[in-house]
Amino acid sequence: MPTRDELEIVALSLKVAFWGVAASLPLAIGTAYVLARKRFPGKTLFDAVVHLPLVLPPVVVGFLLLVLFGRQGPMGRLLEPFGIVFAFRWTGAALAAAIMGFPLMVRAIRLGIEAVDTRLESAARTLGARRGRVFFTVTLPLAWPGLATGAVLAFARSLGEFGATITFVSNIPGETQTLPLAIYTFTQVPGAGLAAMRLSILSVLLSLAALAASEAFTRRRGVRSDA
Amino acid sequence: MLEADVEIERGSFRVEARFASNAPIVALFGRSGAGKSSVIEAIAGLLRPRAGRIAVGGRVLFDAAAGIDLPPEERRVGYVFQDDLLFPHMTVRANLAYGERLTPAPERFVEARRIVALLGLERLLERRPATLSGGEKQRVAIGRALMASPRVLLMDEPLASLDAPRKAEILQYVELLRDELRLPIVYVSHAIEEVTRLADHLVVMAEGRVVAEGAVADVLSRADMVELAGRFEAGAVIEARVAGHDEAYGLTRLAFPGGELVVANVDALVGEPVRARIRARDVALALEAPSKASFQNVLEGVVHSVGHEFGAIVDVTLTLAGGERLVARLTRASVARLALAPGVRVFALVKAIAIDRRSVGFA
Amino acid sequence: MRHARLAAALLACAACALARADTLTVFAAASLKEALDAAVKPFEKRGHRVVVAYAGSNVLARQIESGAPAAVFISADAAWVDELEKGGFVHPGTRRNLLANDLVLVAPAGSKVQLRLAPGVDVAKALGEGRLAIANPQAVPAGKYGKAALASLGAWNAVKDRMAPVENVRVALALVARGEAPLGIVYRTDAIAEPAVRIVDTFPAGSHPAIVYPMVLIKGAHPGAGELAAYLASPAAGATWERFGFRRVP
């Protein structure tokens, strides 16, 4: 049976992962759409930049986040008057998680959008729908499997995010100490091996639950659109 | 009134087409790759011509010189595709409503109930496209296009992916549309039977250009049609009225200025105008009217022209007593033997069963 | 930390691949970086190649326990060396205290904050909205010293929820240098090395256990390791250590 503290750590991890994915989903959809449907100069470069978090060491990403979004960073200072603070807060952990999961989301959503027949979009336009309406009523619903997959992948990645998080927002219990950071801390302390193991088991259960939920979600929606 | 004058470039393929029509149905006819679909897509706004002008009912949809290029959603052009392209994630009802909802109320002139009844869609409304047959899907596609209250209906080879019985079924619906709704239709097809049954005005395209244009009967009987449009089923169209039925033998008599045609029973009322297609291969010629032959139809006429030769075959065009044209496909040998030349009086022999149900359409 | 683990793995491969007599591997606490790099240079002229991996002492100790091929271990924390001795990883009789250090409170160079580190000091107030940058007090020596010092001054309870616990003392230093944290707890030697921070005050010597850096030879290390250890403890190296702010333990 998990202790109160352990549940708090899990709750924080879920909160960070959820908001990380939710906040970056619209941008991921937009990016995926542009990459799937549009041609423009510099597209390859753009694609490469989107994939950077996938290939850069997480600590480097964390460091870049610190430089940009820390209290002294240009973005950090820009957002502070609006009450948006990332440094040493769970929002920073969510930002780190969102960035690390972004390429995975974009890839999956892009595949989903590419699978939608553009002629269906043309048909919708001849029926009087403007491009925006076509996107929301035809393209997006049909790209749903890609969206679901992307969100789940990013969520799972966020649950396991470590390097960027600890570098950017450090390891503050209750605020930024997500599950991986907590497990890590316990492995550092002599004699806390059992605590680390318990949290590891919780982590595995959580990931399995997330995967199962996404499986059910995609299948249900898939069935509805066929029959 | 539909006016189209477009110059389209698709890679290395150029299409230059110009035609105008007031007819209820304009057919764009030609082989695959003739450029017909490009013209239709340009009218719909899915393809941008390099130059030209497109106007429907006086409303300019595209004018390169004036810098006008309305996006598809503003053109009010209904489009029925070869692959129905129904939205798979919506029910039939939702598909039908899609365009209707986007049409401002004052501009709606189509009533949902009427379309559903007209196309026989009542039992399909709650179903999903994946569960429908080809014919059902195409009917829904037509209904969906109509429910957006279009000013013109474009149909791009709508029967191409259907089997023969379905083709006949949908063809009837299109005829119904033509008669019930006063909506101009542009019908694209490479199938001559469809075109002759439906069209009033025919535009023939080959290799990206319009090669012939005019009333169906006139265009089809031109001797050079075969070269222009390819070796399609050459033939002629005779416009007639139902004169009477022979119940005992299951035959129908069609009357026209140049004489009478006896055909297999046609399900029509006496007095109804029809259009009969007579394939060139079903017409034989004689210098004298045979007395003891089985031909039900012996029509008197004069040879108008002897067309180009295709190996052993040659098409001979003749004019009947009322000015109608007929085409007979003969061997060169026969033409030589009978010494057929323009001006020669001949008798056209047509078997009644050659003009079957599929060959007779309602005008 | 992933870096040090990666470094250890690569070093292991390098060691296997080269297996030359000349390469000595040293695991050293992060806070020794600049000083140790400078100190080994003269030694390398004798013909040996010295490779040093820096990380938190806790991380390095765990890696040695897992078989990392370190020849010499210089820790910032006696407790970890005790563990290694108990585990039988240490060459008997080679342990000695190499250096001593002080613990200081730092602020960004441009900050005007003034604090005297005496019992009753109000660190929390000086932090304002910000957080105190400190190496993880649960695991890293610098953090443990910091916690002990704050506790003995009666300031721990007020700041324990206002901290930014990081990987090792160098990261804490970097946070203060960047201005992300208004105050931080680091070693004096770190503060001296970083121009972007200034020392607010030094923690009194009695407020925390003595900060000494024990040095040991790991069992099975190359014979040259002993030579290196002797050199590092010699007066010749002493000048270098002092230059960086460490105190020699005679």
pLDDT in tens, B54-103: 999 889 999 999 999 999 999 999 999 988 899 999 999 999 999 888 88
The whole-number pLDDT of residue C23 equals 82
Residue range C103-202 in CATH 3.40.190.10: yes
Assign A222 a pLDDT band (cuts: 50, 70, 90). low
**Which residue, C194, C184, C216, is CA-closest to C83?**
C216
**Cα angle B270, B272, B274; round to 5:** 125
Per the document, the length of chain C is: 250
Residue B172: band (very low, low, confident or very high) from pLDDT cuts 50, 70, 90: confident
Asked if A128 is an interface residue toward chain B (Cβ–Cβ < 8 A), one would say: yes
Residues of A with Cβ-Cβ distance to B107 under 8 angstroms? none
Q: What are the sequence ranges of the domains in chain C?
A: 2-100+210-248, 103-202
Residues of chain B found within 8 Å of residue A223, distances taken between Cβ atoms: none
Reported as a single tens digit per residue, the pLDDT across B269-291 is 888 888 888 888 899 999 999 98
Residues 145-184 of B with CB under 8 A from A: 145, 148
- Residue of chain B nearest A128, judged by CA positions: B73
Give residue C140's pLDDT.
85
Encode chain C in three state secondary structure.
CHHHHHHHHHHHHHHHHHCCCCEEEEEEEHHHHHHHHHHHHHHHCCCCEEEEEEECHHHHHHHHHCCCCCCEEECCCHHHHHHHHHCCCECCCCCEEEEEECEEEEEECCCCCCCCCCCCCCHHHHHCCCCEEEECCCCCHHHHHHHHHHHHCCCHHHHCCCEEEECCHHHHHHHHHHCCCCEEEEEHHHHHHCCCEEEEEECCHHHCCCEEEEEEEECCCCCHHHHHHHHHHCHHHHHHHHHCCCEECC
Q: Are strands B273-279 and B360-362 parallel, antiparallel or unpaired?
A: antiparallel
CB contact under 8 Å between C136 and A166, yes or no, is no
**In this complex, which of A58, A72, A88 lies closest to C131 when CB atoms are compared?**
A88
Percent of chain C whose pLDDT exceeds 90: 50
What average pLDDT score do residues A29-33 get? 96
3.40.1280.10, 3.40.190.10, 3.30.110.60, 3.40.50.2300: CATH of C2-100+210-248: 3.40.190.10
CA A113 to chain centre: 18
Q: Which chains have at least 3 CB atom pairs separated by less than 8 Å from chain A? A: B, C
- Interface membership of B129 toward A (CB under 8 Å): no
Q: Is A4 on the interface with B (CB under 8 A)?
A: no
The reported pLDDT for the residue numbered A223 is 46
Is there a shared CATH topology between the C2-100+210-248 domain and the C103-202 domain?
Answer: yes
Q: Which residue of C has its CA nearest to A88?
A: C164
Cβ-defined contact of B98 to A129 (cutoff 8 Å) = yes
Locate the chain A residue with the closest alpha carbon to B72. Answer: A126
Strands C183-187 and C163-166, sheet pairing: unpaired
Q: Which of A72, A167, A172 lies nearest to residue C179, judging by beta carbons?
A: A72
Chains in touch with B (3+ beta-carbon pairs under 8 Å) read A
Question: Does the beta-carbon distance from A119 to B131 stay under 8 Å?
Answer: no
What pLDDT was estimated at residue B192?
81
Predicted pLDDT of residue B181: 79
Q: Calculate what percentage of chain C has a pLDDT beyond 70.
A: 92
Q: Residue A129 and residue B73: Cβ atoms within 8 Å? A: yes
Give the pLDDT confidence score for residue A221 in this predicted structure.
57
Q: Is A117 on the interface with B (CB under 8 A)?
A: yes
Q: How far off is chain A from C43, nearest CA to CA, in Å?
A: 33
The CATH classification number of A4-226 equals: 1.10.3720.10
Going by pLDDT thresholds of 50, 70 and 90, the confidence category of residue B42 is very high
The whole-angstrom distance between residue B310's C-alpha and the CA centroid of its chain comes to 26
pLDDT in tens, C168-227: 888 899 999 999 999 999 999 889 889 999 999 999 988 998 889 999 999 888 888 888
Beta-bridge mates of residue B347: B286, B300
pLDDT at B363: 65
**By the CB < 8 Å criterion, does C165 face chain A?**
yes
Taking all residues of chain C, what is their mean pLDDT, rounded to a whole number? 88
Residue A13 pLDDT > 90, yes or no? yes
Q: B89, A126: Cβ pair inside 8 Å? A: no
Q: What is the pLDDT of residues A153-166, one digit of tens each?
A: 899 899 989 999 98
As for the ipTM of the complex, it is 0.81
Q: Does C3 touch chain A (CB under 8 A)?
A: yes
Q: Among C39, C22, C43, C23, which Cα is nearest to C74's?
A: C39
Chain C window 20-49: which residues touch A at a Cβ cutoff of 8 Å? none
User: Cβ separation of A122 and B148 shorter than 8 Å?
Assistant: no
For the cut 70, the answer to whether the pLDDT of residue B15 exceeds it is yes
> How many angstroms away from the CA of A126 is the closest CA of chain C?
56
Nearest CA in chain A to B145: A127
Nearest residue on chain A to C133, alpha-carbon basis: A170
The answer to whether residue A213 scores a pLDDT higher than 60 is: yes
Which residue segments constitute the domains of chain B, with CATH numbers given? 2-220 (3.40.50.300), 235-362 (2.40.50.100)
Confidence grade of residue A225 (pLDDT, cut at 50, 70, 90): very low
Q: CA C125, CA A218: separation in Å to the nearest integer?
A: 52
Nearest to C164 among A57, A170, A189 (CB): A170
Mean pLDDT of C101-128: 91
C50: left (phi over 0), alpha (psi -120 to 50) or beta: beta
pLDDT computed for residue B345 by the predictor = 94
- CB-CB under 8 Å, A125 with B98: no
Alpha-carbon gap, residue B57 to B69, rounded angstroms: 16
Chain A hits for B98, CB-CB cut-off 8 Å, are 124, 127, 129, 137
Please determine, for residue A175, whether its predicted confidence score (pLDDT) is greater than 50. yes
Is residue C14 predicted with pLDDT exceeding 60?
A: no
CB-based burial, C38-59: b 16+ in 10 Å, e otherwise:
ebbeebeeeebebebbbbbbbb
Mutation for testing the C interface, residue in A63, A65, A88 having most C CBs under 10 Å = A88
In chain A, residues with a C-beta closer than 8 Å to the C-beta of C3 are 59
Q: Rounded distance, CA B230 to CA B214, Å?
A: 18
Q: In chain A, what residues touch B78 (CB-CB under 8 Å)?
A: 126
Question: C-chain residues within 8 Å CB-CB of A88?
Answer: 131, 164, 180
Within 8 A of A120 by CB-CB distance, chain B residues are 85, 87
